[in-house]
C-alpha cells in the first residue's frame, strides 16, 4: 500500500452530492481552500442515480404517453409510434453525465480540488483517502464536512439480485423494459418509477403498507393520486403488506396481506423495492450516531468530534436534495462566517414528479386536526382555470390551509400540471408568514395556472370567482 504525503486545507468535504458540492462551493466563495472527496462521481446519488435521471425518464414517458394516448385530442395524427428503450435509458445517462461534468467545471471555476476514493476520518482534522489502486492520501484540514448521503434500503429477507428483485439504481439502467412490475413502496421514488414504466407499457402494481398512496402528503392529495393512477391503469394496493418475495428465475412472486387481511400472491417479471433509504456513514472512530444510524449533530451541524460537521441525508431529518444543499450551506457559513448562527430547515417543499405532479409545503390538514388548530380551507380545481383547459391539463386542484382567526397560511397542497413549479409561491408565503389578505392583494397573471392559487385563497372565504 502506497502512502502519499499530507496536504492541508481549510475544509475537507467527504461526499460530492447536493450537500457536498454546494458546501464546497460556498466555502470556496468565502475564500477557503477546499477539497472534495467522492468515491464515485461528483453529483452524488441525486444527480447520478436519483433526481436527475429519473426526471429525464419521466420526460420521455410523458411525451410518449401523450403521443400514444392523447394525440388525436390535439388534432395530431401519429403513425408508426414506437419506443427505443436503449435510447430512452441512454438519454437519461447523458443528462446525468452532462450535469456531473458541469459540477466538475464549477469545482475548477471555484478552485476546489477533488479526489476520488474512500474516505476515513483518522482523527480530528485528518482524513485518509484510499484510491482504487490501494494508495492512500492523507488530507489535513481545519474543518471536515461529512456529506455522504444515503443509499437505497434493502430488505434482508429479499435482497436485490439485479434481475427480478431490484432497487431504484437498477431500474434506471435496466437493459430491457419488463412486461410487468411490482413496486413496493409509494414514496416519491416508487411512485415516480411506477409512472415511468407504466408510460412505456409495463403493467405496474404499486404496493404500499400504509393506508394511502404517497402517505406523507395531505389525505385529499393521496386519494386523488390513487384515483388518477387507477384511471391510467396502474394497480394501487394501499394498506397491503409484503410477507415474502420468491425469485422464480425469470419472474418473481410476492405474497401479500391486503388491507382486509386476506393473503394473495402476485407474479411479475420484476419487483422494485422502494421503501426508503439508509444513511451512508464514513469510518470515523468515536463518531456518535442516532438509534436509526444517522450522524448526530448539534445546532451548528457539528458532530461529537471537534471540527467535524455533517449535513444532508446522513444526518436524517427531511431527506431531500434541496434540504441537503441548504443544510450544507448553513453548516459552512457557521464554520467560517463570524457571528453566523446556522439555521435548520423549517418550510421545505416536497415534490413528486409523476403525472399529475404533486407538491406540498407546510402543514397537512390531518396535522392541524390532531393539534387542535382552528383553520379554514381554500380548494380550487384546475378544471375551472382557463390556461389548464387550453393546455388540456385539467386534472387536480390547489388546496390552501389558513389560520381561522388571523388568516396566516399554514399549508399548501397541489396536485396537477406544473405543481412542482407552482409550490414556490406558497412556500415563500409560508416562510414570510403571509396571510390570505396578503395573497389576495397580489395580481395574478392571466392566463396562468397560478390563478388557481388566487382562486383557492378566495375559496377559503367562499369568494372564489370562477367556481
Q: Name the residues annotated as catalytic.
A: 446
**Cβ-based neighbour number of residue 243 at 10 Å:** 12
458 three-state secondary structure = helix
Sole residue written with cell 396571510: 435
Output the DSSP codes for 409-446.
EEEEEEEETTHHHHTHHHHHHHHTT-BHHHHHTS---S
235 bridge partner residues: 205
Total residue length of the chain:
467
- Give the phi and the psi of residue 245 in degrees, each rounded to 5: -125, 135
Which stretches does DSSP call E strand in 299-374? Answer: 308-310, 350-352, 357-362
CA distance 333 to 11: 12
Nearest to 238 by CA among 277, 273, 212, 264: 212
CA distance 259 to 117: 46
CA distance 467 to 463: 9
The DSSP H or E segment spanning 143 is: strand 136-146
| Phi-psi category of residue 461: left, alpha or beta, with phi > 0 → left and psi -120 to 50 → alpha | alpha
Amino acid at each position: 500500500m502506497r502512502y502519499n504525503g499530507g496536504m492541508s486545507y481549510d475544509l475537507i468535504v467527504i461526499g460530492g452530492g447536493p450537500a457536498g458540492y454546494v458546501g464546497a462551493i460556498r466555502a470556496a466563495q468565502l475564500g477557503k481552500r477546499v477539497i472534495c472527496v467522492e468515491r464515485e462521481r461528483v453529483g452524488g446519488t441525486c444527480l447520478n442515480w436519483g433526481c436527475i435521471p429519473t426526471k429525464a425518464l419521466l420526460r420521455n414517458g410523458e411525451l410518449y404517453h401523450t403521443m400514444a394516448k392523447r394525440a388525436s385530442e390535439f388534432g395530431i395524427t401519429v403513425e408508426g409510434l414506437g419506443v427505443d428503450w436503449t435510447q430512452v435509458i441512454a438519454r437519461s445517462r447523458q443528462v446525468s453525465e452532462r450535469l456531473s461534468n458541469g459540477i466538475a467545471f464549477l469545482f475548477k471555476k471555484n478552485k476546489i480540488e477533488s479526489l476520488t476514493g474512500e474516505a476515513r476520518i483518522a482523527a480530528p482534522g485528518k482524513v485518509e483517502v484510499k484510491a482504487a489502486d490501494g494508495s492512500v492520501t492523507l488530507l489535513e484540514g481545519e474543518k471536515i464536512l461529512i456529506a455522504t448521503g444515503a443509499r437505497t434500503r434493502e430488505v434482508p429477507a429479499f435482497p436485490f439480485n439485479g434481475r427480478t428483485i431490484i432497487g431504484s439504481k437498477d431500474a434506471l439502467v435496466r437493459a430491457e423494459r419488463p412486461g410487468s412490475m411490482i413496486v413496493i413502496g409509494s414514496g416519491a421514488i416508487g411512485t415516480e418509477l411506477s409512472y415511468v414504466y407504466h408510460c412505456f407499457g409495463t403493467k405496474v402494481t404499486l404496493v404500499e403498507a400504509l393506508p394511502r398512496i404517497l402517505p406523507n402528503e395531505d389525505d385529499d392529495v393521496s386519494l386523488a393520486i390513487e384515483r388518477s393512477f387507477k384511471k391510467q391503469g396502474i394497480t394501487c394496493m394501499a394498506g397491503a403488506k409484503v410477507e415474502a418475495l420468491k425469485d422464480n428465475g425469470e419472474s418473481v412472486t410476492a405474497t401479500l396481506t391486503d388491507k382486509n387481511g386476506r393473503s394473495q400472491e402476485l407474479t411479475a417479471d420484476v419487483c422494485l423495492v422502494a421503501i426508503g433509504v439508509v444513511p451512508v456513514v464514513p469510518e470515523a472512530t468515536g463518531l456518535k450516531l442516532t438509534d436509526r444510524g444517522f450522524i448526530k449533530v448539534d445546532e451548528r451541524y457539528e458532530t461529537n468530534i471537534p471540527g467535524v460537521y455533517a449535513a444532508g441525508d446522513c444526518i436524517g431529518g427531511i431527506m431531500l436534495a434541496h434540504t441537503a444543499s441548504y443544510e450544507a450551506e448553513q453548516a459552512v457559513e457557521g464554520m467560517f462566517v463570524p457571528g453566523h448562527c446556522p439555521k435548520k430547515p423549517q418550510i421545505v417543499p416536497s415534490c413528486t414528479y409523476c403525472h399529475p405532479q404533486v407538491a406540498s409545503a407546510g402543514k397537512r390538514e390531518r396535522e392541524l386536526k390532531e393539534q387542535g388548530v382552528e383553520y379554514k380551507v381554500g380548494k380550487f380545481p384546475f378544471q375551472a382555470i382557463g390556461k389548464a383547459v387550453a393546455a388540456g391539463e385539467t386534472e387536480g386542484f390547489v388546496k390552501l390551509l389558513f389560520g381561522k382567526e388571523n388568516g396566516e397560511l399554514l399549508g399548501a397542497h397541489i396536485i396537477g400540471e406544473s405543481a412542482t413549479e407552482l409550490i414556490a409561491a406558497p412556500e415563500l408565503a409560508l416562510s414570510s408568514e403571509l396571510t390570505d389578505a396578503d395573497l389576495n392583494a397580489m395580481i395574478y397573471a392571466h392566463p396562468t395556472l397560478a390563478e388557481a392559487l388566487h382562486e383557492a385563497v378566495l375559496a377559503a372565504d367562499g369568494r372564489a370567482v370562477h367556481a
